[in-house]
Amino acid sequence: MTQDYIALLGTKGGPAIRPGSSMPTSNLVCLNGQQIVLDCGLGVTRGLVDQGMQLKDLSLIFISHLHSDHYLELGSLLHTAWTAGLKTPVDVYGPDGLDTYWAGFLAAMKADIDLRTEDEGRPDLKALVTFHVVDAGEVVTHAGITISALRTEHPPLIDCFAYSFKTDKTHVVFSGDTAPITALEDFAREADLLIHEAMLETALPALMARVGNGSDKLMAHWLRSHSFAHDAAKVAKNADVKRLALSHLIPSDDPTYGVQDWQSAVAPEWDGPLTVGHDGIKIDL
């Protein structure tokens, strides 16, 4: 059996990319020899290929919520996998509304899809993909991996999920986007790895000055819908997880702040193994 691991493909919070920034959220979860894609922010397709994945093997995708930094490239990933030889079914799990996105994507790309289906003899792309609406609780068991969802606190969205991937050997939890919630501590209890979103409190004023849009709405969104690094550390400590990885980093492109600043931010709450995410980092389980 191959080694279980998670690759963080895109580790920045938010959809915008700028010179020097990392890419929005996407992950490759490899458990029991299965390759599971977790969120499809911009760059997911390149990120998967860079990990050595054959896109024609795409079979299982989970989406945490309908903010573009988590699903903007879902359609492009499915389409590109199709052009790379995908002939087998793909199951996509996520919030209600993804099927509408997919119908719109197929409509937008109809000319190309019809052409390639006819001219290159490719299978019916629409028929290959099945969407499943996720609710809190156990979602599905696949190849010995039980996947569960927890509704997080990410207003104004209602359907935003953390996901747990559990096998008889390992347990990985992904926070999704969330304000700090104690429910996540039970959800991640004694997990081998907790991947949690994080903002660096000291860096927010400078970020606001750089990318703010003149109102205080963006800052208000950050504060009520996201977690600071020390919040993530507290969840990890209270949940007694074995390793904490920070991802969905805000900010991600300020050269004034580096790994050491993230380490210092979590230090008061967490002294266990810590991974500060960067695009392409592979965490063995």
Residue ranges binding Zn ion (CB under 5 A): 67, 69, 177
Residue 188: strand, helix, or coil: coil
CA 271 to chain centre: 25
67 or 151: CB nearest Zn ion: 67
Task: Name which of 162 and 285 has its Cβ closer to Zn ion.
Answer: 162
Looking at the DSSP bridge assignments, the partners of residue 31 are: 34
Q: From CA 7, how far away is CA 26, in angstroms rounded?
A: 9
Q: How far is the CB of 86 from Zn ion (least distance, A)?
A: 27
Q: How far apart are CB 15 and Zn ion at their closest, in Å?
A: 8
What's the closest the beta carbon of residue 65 comes to Zn ion, in angstroms? 6
* Between 63 and 77, CB nearer to Zn ion: 63
Report d(CA 123, CA 111) in Å as an integer: 15
DSSP structure class, residue 212: -
Our CB check for Zn ion shows the closer of 67 and 196 to be 67
* Phi and psi based region of residue 39 (left: phi greater than 0; alpha: psi -120 to 50; beta: remaining): left
**Minimum CB–partner distance for residue 219 and Zn ion (Å):** 15
Write down the least CB distance from residue 123 to Zn ion, Å. 33
Closest CA to 277 of 239, 246, 234: 246
- Least separation in angstroms between residue 100's CB and Zn ion is 18
| Closer residue to Zn ion (CB): 171 or 226 | 226
DSSP letter (8 states) at residue 55:
G
* HEC sequence for 165-186: EECCCCEEEECCCCCCCCHHHH
Q: Between 75 and 95, name the residue whose CB sits nearer to Zn ion.
A: 95
3-state secondary structure of 229: helix
Burial class (CB in 10 A: 0-12, 13-18, 19+), 97: middle
CB 278 within 8 A of CB 22: yes
